[in-house]
Amino acid sequence: MAQLWGGRFTGETDRMAYEFNASIRFDRRLFHQDIQGSIAHVTMLARQGILTEEEKDSIVRGLTDIREAVDAGDMEIDETCEDIHSFVEAALIRRIGEAGKKMHTGRSRNDQVALDMRLYTREHVKETDALLKELLRVILAVMEENVETYMPGFTHLQKAQPTTLAHHYGAYFEMFKRDRQRMADIYKRMNYCPLGAGALAGTTYPLDREYTASLMEFAGPTLNSMDSVSDRDYLIEYLAALSTIMMHLSRFCEEIIIWNSNEYQFVEIDDAYSTGSSIMPQKKNPDIAELVRGKTGRVYGALTALLTTMKGIPLAYNKDMQEDKELSFDAMDTVRDCLILFTGMLRTMKFRKERMAASAMNGFTNATDAADYLVGKGVPFRDAHGIIGRLVLYCVEKDTSIDRLSLEELRTVSDKFEEDIYDAVALKTCVEKRLTLGAPGREAMEKVIKEHNKYLMNADL
């Protein structure tokens, strides 16, 4: 395959060096973006009088035909080409002849690839945002239905205080909402067009960079040509945000795996998202949750790899930067799949509400409320804490719970206990009394749910 840059060379590239250098195997993904960028570029060139209208029309037609042919499967992307840019240019020249050789006027592959990758990533940022929104919808639906589904809240994985399923899911709503905000933020910052930066120092042709940028719906052109060809910050930011999404998914998966265990039995994962064992017939394993948790590592890996690749590169373009693609593509695919599967798993997961409530009852999750009860009867909190601590010890020895003790038993630790203690430590009361904004009490929860519904009505990216 003749090289775009063959003129200056007399010797052949070593076979392995050629393969090592070539990127078409993975940058073929940028095919559509490459064509889109070239159409915008030649449209601008014609408007500036650098190409004639006929030349531009012929190039645009040629590029459109190539896109259709490849999309329809009538034409193969030739993997003997060095990269996707060489393929498109060679295919164009073959198709339309001389005019095709003018497409690359006032452009370098450096600004071309910077543009292609940005266009590709911009779409993915939007897609990630849409998938997060869908996940938030599923979470919110569970919240709306489970304002009175009681369960233990944990600290140190030890039962701590009673809460509700709505409240627990509400925590994840906040996390994925922040993830969406990160998408919006990245989108806004990355949405500038690098095309026209040339190899590194712009070009001598009178390009209209504002116009090119507007053709591809960028907020404007980038303002430094060296930075334009060597900036991959937006990818690093995106990979960091994807890593954070994976961290959130992984924590959620970890909980689901625990809740799905024989010991807990809080939830049942649908058959569609579980698998069996080759040897143990009784098994139904939470493989999807485990895989999502496991794949977090490779997304973190992509972030670490790109940060490391970028750290020692002098300005401006260097071939090191070609390494941005495979790992970013892998991370984007991984997070997309994880979000889709996780959302499906969540949508179909069943809750064993009685098990959840029973678990909240038998773990002394109402001990703080019992102490608060004594405070209400005039006992200083520190003393109340000690009294209830002794009561819990008594219950542990007797294998019972505070609400099952008789009034006489209760009075052995404090004469402040009266009949109303039973209502005060009932699960429902313990939760309902938690009315501060952000707490699980019904009123507080309903206020938050209303906010979330309003938030999900907002426009997308």
Could you list the active site residues? 156, 277
* Residue 228 binding ligand ARG, by CB under 6 A: no
* Residue 23 binding ligand ARG, by CB under 6 A: yes
* Residue 322 binding ligand ARG, by CB under 6 A: yes
* Residue 118 binding ligand ARG, by CB under 6 A: no
Shortest reach from residue 104's CB to ligand ARG, in Å: 12
Q: How many angstroms separate the CA atoms of 252 and 173, rounded? A: 11
In sequence order, which ranges of 97-150 are alpha helices (DSSP H)? Answer: 109-145
Stretch that binds ligand ARG, among 119-127, 318-326, 357-365, 428-436 (CB under 6 A): 318-326
Per the listing, tokens 């979000």 go with 339
Q: Which of 51, 136, 216, 321 binds ligand ARG (CB under 6 A)?
A: 321
Angle between helix axes 381-398 and 367-376 (nearest 10 degrees) is 140
Name the closest residue to ligand ARG (Cβ): 322
Q: How many residues bind ligand ARG (CB under 6 A)?
A: 10
Q: Is the peptide bond before 91 cis (omega within 30 degrees of 0)?
A: no
Structural tokens at position 236: 């690093």
Stretch that binds ligand ARG, among 167-175, 186-194, 313-321, 359-367 (CB under 6 A): 313-321
Q: How many angstroms separate the CA atoms of 428 and 441, rounded? A: 9
Q: How many angstroms separate the CA atoms of 126 and 128, rounded? A: 5
Q: For residue 370, what are the contacts with CB-CB under 8 A and spacing of at least 6?
A: 388, 391, 402, 421, 424, 425
Residue 426 is classified by DSSP as S
Shortest reach from residue 332's CB to ligand ARG, in Å: 16
* Residue 203 binding ligand ARG, by CB under 6 A: no
**In the window 367-426, what residues touch ligand ARG (CB under 6 A)?**
none
Q: How many angstroms separate the CA atoms of 84 and 103, rounded? A: 15
* Residue 237 binding ligand ARG, by CB under 6 A: no
Shortest reach from residue 24's CB to ligand ARG, in Å: 8
Q: For residue 74, what are the contacts with CB-CB under 8 A and spacing of at least 6?
A: none
Q: Which is nearer to ligand ARG, 17 or 219 (CB)?
A: 17
* Residue 109 binding ligand ARG, by CB under 6 A: yes
**In the window 58-97, what residues touch ligand ARG (CB under 6 A)?**
83
Collapsing DSSP states into helix, strand and coil, what is residue 155?
strand
Stretch that binds ligand ARG, among 37-45, 314-322, 346-354, 375-383 (CB under 6 A): 314-322
Q: Which is nearer to ligand ARG, 190 or 430 (CB)?
A: 190
How many Cα atoms within 13 Å fall on the side-chain side of residue 279? 0
* Residue 110 binding ligand ARG, by CB under 6 A: yes
Q: For residue 68, what are the contacts with CB-CB under 8 A and spacing of at least 6?
A: none
Shortest reach from residue 222's CB to ligand ARG, in Å: 17
* Residue 293 binding ligand ARG, by CB under 6 A: no
If one counts every other C-beta atom within 10 angstroms of the C-beta of residue 79, the result is: 11
Q: Which of 40, 45, 103, 113 binds ligand ARG (CB under 6 A)?
A: 113
Structural tokens at position 234: 């937006």
Query: Residue 355's Cα: distance from chain center in Å?
Result: 32
Shortest reach from residue 78's CB to ligand ARG, in Å: 15
Residue 418 — φ and ψ, nearest 5°?
-135, 180
Shortest reach from residue 113's CB to ligand ARG, in Å: 4
Q: Which is nearer to ligand ARG, 152 or 198 (CB)?
A: 198
* Site of interaction with ligand ARG (CB under 6 A): 23, 27, 83, 109-110, 113, 317, 319, 321-322
